[in-house]
Amino acid sequence: MKKTKLIEIASARSGDKNNVCNIGLMAKSPEFYAVLKEKVTSEKVKEHFKDLIKGPVIRHEWDAIESLNFICNQALDGGASRSLRMDTLGKNFSSHLLRMEIEIEG
């Protein structure tokens, strides 16, 4: 097993709906999609974002496009129009998720 960052095996895009941020995590290949499904759980995502995400994280599997979609609740400091953060829209939740480390065979 070796450690790898998600950016090596996936890409991501995130956005906002009021106080909810969704992060789409797209595998670079079907093989990597299987790895993402096994290793990148909603619990792991919630923990990776520390107190940026206050509510539960829900994971949707989207096999047709080899992607996982994470719905992060209470994640945007109340929503873009009232947030005091720099990343008011959560556009860089994608970036931070890609920094997550997982163990893969290799």
Partner 1 sequence: MTKYSIKIAGAQGFYGDSPRAAIQIAKEKGADYLVIDSLAELTLSILQKDKLTDEKLGYARDIELMASTLFPIAFKNGIKIVTNSGGLNPEVAAKKVAALLEKQGIKGIKIAVITGDNLLPQLGEMQQAGLVLENMDNCLPLSSSSFEITHANVYTGAHTIAEALDKGADLILAGRVADPCLTLGILIHHFKWKLEGNLEQHDLDKLASGIAVGHLLECGGQASGGNSYAEWPMDYSISNLGYPIAEVFEDGSAIFSKLESQGGKVSRNTIREQLIYEIHDPANYITPDVIVDFTAVKIEEIAANKVRFSSIKGKPRPDKLKLSIGLMEGYMSDQFMFFSWPYAFEKANRFIETVKEIWAKLPVKIERAEFSLIGINGIHGSAAPLPAKEVLDEMNEIGVRLVIKHNDLRTGKMAMQSIICLGLNGPPGLIGIPGWGKTDRLMLSLWPTLIPREWVKEKVEIIES
Q: Which of 39, 74, 102, 104 binds partner 1 (CB under 8 A)?
A: 74
Residue 62 interacts with partner 1 (CB under 8 A)? yes
**CA dihedral angle for residue 69, residue 43, residue 40, residue 15, rounded to 10 degrees:** 30
Show the tokens assigned to 9. Answer: 């095996």
Q: Which of 1, 3, 30, 86 binds partner 1 (CB under 8 A)?
A: 86
Terminal Cα distance for the chain, rounded: 6
Nearest to 67 by CA among 24, 100, 34: 24
Residue 94 interacts with partner 1 (CB under 8 A)? yes
Show the tokens assigned to 37. Answer: 């499904």
Residue 98 interacts with partner 1 (CB under 8 A)? yes
In the complex, which residues of this chain contact partner 1 (CB under 8 A)? 7, 11-13, 15-20, 22, 24, 26, 48-52, 60, 62-65, 67, 69, 71, 73-74, 78-82, 84-87, 89, 91-92, 94-96, 98
